[in-house]
Amino acid sequence: MTNTSEQLLDIEKIRKDFPILHREINGKPLVYFDNAATSQTPKQVIDCIVDYYETKNANIHRGVHSLSQIATDAYEAAREKVRAHFNAEHSHEIILTSGTTHSINLVANGYASILKPEDEILVSAMEHHSNIVPWQILCQKTGATLKVIPMSHKGELEMETYKGLINENTKLVFVNHVSNALGTINPIKEIIEIAHDVGAKVLIDGAQSAPHIKADVQALDVDYYTVSAHKICGPTGVGMLYGKEDLLNMLPPYQGGGEMIAEVTFEKTTYAGLPHKFEAGTPNISGGIAFGAALDYMNSIGFDAIAAYEMELLKYATSELQKIEGVTIYGTSPEHKTAVLSFNIENLHPYDIGTLLDKMGIAVRTGHHCAQPIMEFYKIPGTVRASFAFYNTKEEIDAFITALKKAKSMLL
């Protein structure tokens, strides 16, 4: 590591915030390189959850009693933190969901009553299954056509083909900000502008970008943006759907139930306004509050410093990995992606490599990463994916490379 990168973050101090990083796995110090699946949770966020149950636990938006008001205020303060972080204009444009999958399904379900059989929707070739399957279901319901924006061998979207595919029948475009399997950072601003030129709306899946890039939904002029808190140091089971006010108002509710209504009779129900229309039932209250704490934590470190430090890690890991004979790295060069290394070693199955690495305390993901079309594109069964976070270190990368060499020699 260069002096510059060491100066970027106080890694020793940061690592003290994450109790899990100090445990052993299979008798070896844990090296956690599966951050794209879920990030680890700092003490500040864990404490926030404990504090909620110790001092604030009550159902929200319904009690006249003080405790319910305290819990409601904390939950709504978290929504405001999410709004401020992503720079939405209004806090009611932030729907707190159970995560990205829920957010995407909410929008897809809403368009079932809007799309017509002659409509077309575009999805990129490098999506997670949760940004493919809901749109396929939508097409089955409406008769609309799903078209695919192809990717190049380098792992980048083919923008010229995209421009050729989009037309006045295109109603919706779905692209991830960052690919989970490759790490590619997609040119979403350009994608949004091109879609808006024909009047299409754009949903950006921000599940993989949120840990690395602070998105400004107004500057992007994005129509819908989705995030899962568990990938940004928050808890599982909570996330957000951002939508422009008029576009959220246009969609019918996703689920019916308590808290999403204005008035109910057996003849007719009228719905609550945003955001409550889309938040039926008791939500993940502690999770929502902790989502806010996670954003506070990440912002206290700073996204510019996080991105710069992770880039140093990625460049170092890439150059060390390339020194191992028989390695193929999938995806674009470090400058155009987040800290993800998706690779294979000639004549070895990714699963075998992952299993041996685990025996040496190193956690990576292996397989298709819920992005089977990418694997089909490269004609491979899957990859080994090492994904880094700001609390990882160069020493951990050294341990990973040593373990990888050992695994290779054991398997070949």
Binding footprint of ligand 7TS on the chain (CB under 6 A): 36-37, 99-101, 128, 130-131, 176, 180, 205, 207-208, 228, 365, 369-370
Q: Which is nearer to ligand 7TS, 11 or 122 (CB)?
A: 122
Nearer Cβ to ligand 7TS (228/286): 228
Q: Which is closer to ligand 7TS, CB of 83 or CB of 368?
A: 368
Give the residues across from 32 on adjacent strands.
363
Nearest CB to ligand 7TS, comparing residues 39 and 393: 39
Q: How far apart are CA 53 and CA 32, in angstroms?
A: 29
Any idea of the CA torsion for 159, 163, 169, 175, to the nearest 10 degrees? 20
Task: Give the tokens for residue 150.
Answer: 């192809």
Whichever of 142 and 228 has its CB closer to ligand 7TS, that residue is: 228
Residues in Cβ contact with 383 at an 8 Å cutoff, skipping those fewer than 6 apart:
181, 330, 342, 343, 344, 350, 366, 367, 369, 375
CB of 383 to ligand 7TS, least distance (A): 11
Q: How far is the CB of 338 from ligand 7TS (least distance, A)?
A: 11
- Kindly report the backbone phi and psi dihedral angles of residue 90, in degrees, each rounded to the nearest multiple of 5, phi listed first: -125, 145
Q: What residues contact 355, with CB distance under 8 A and at least 6 apart?
A: none
Residues 6+ apart with CB under 8 A from 120: 144, 145, 146, 147, 167, 169, 170, 171
| Phi and psi torsions of 44, nearest 5° | -60, -35
Work out how close the CB of 386 gets to ligand 7TS at its nearest, in angstroms, rounded to a whole number.
12
The structure tokens listed for 241 are 């759907």
Instruction: Extract the tokens encoding 135.
Output: 């749109």
Cα angle 386, 390, 393 (rounded to 5 degrees) comes to: 70
Q: Is 70 helix (H, G, I), strand (E, B) or coil?
A: helix
Q: How many CB atoms lie within 10 A of CB 346?
A: 10
- Taken in order 8, 13, 16, 21, the sign of the CA dihedral is positive
Q: Whole-number minimum distance, CB 319 to ligand 7TS, in Å?
A: 24
**Residues 118, 271: contact at Cβ < 8 Å?**
no
Please, what is the minimum distance in Å from the beta carbon of residue 46 to ligand 7TS? Answer: 19
**Least CB distance to ligand 7TS at residue 65 (A):** 33
How many other C-beta atoms are found inside a 10 Å radius of the C-beta of residue 372?
14
370 is catalytic: yes
Q: Could you tell me the smallest distance in angstroms from the CB atom of residue 335 to ligand 7TS?
A: 20
* Ranges of H-type helices in 42-187: 43-51, 66-86, 100-110, 133-142, 159-165
Q: What residue is closest to ligand 7TS based on CB?
A: 180
Active-site hit among 48, 139, 233, 370: 370
Q: What is the C-alpha separation between 86 and 80, in angstroms, rounded?
A: 10
Question: Which residue, 5 or 344, is less far from ligand 7TS as judged by CB?
Answer: 344
275 preceded by a cis bond (ω within 30 of 0): yes
Which residue lies nearer to ligand 7TS by CB, 85 or 369? 369
- Could you list the active site residues? 370
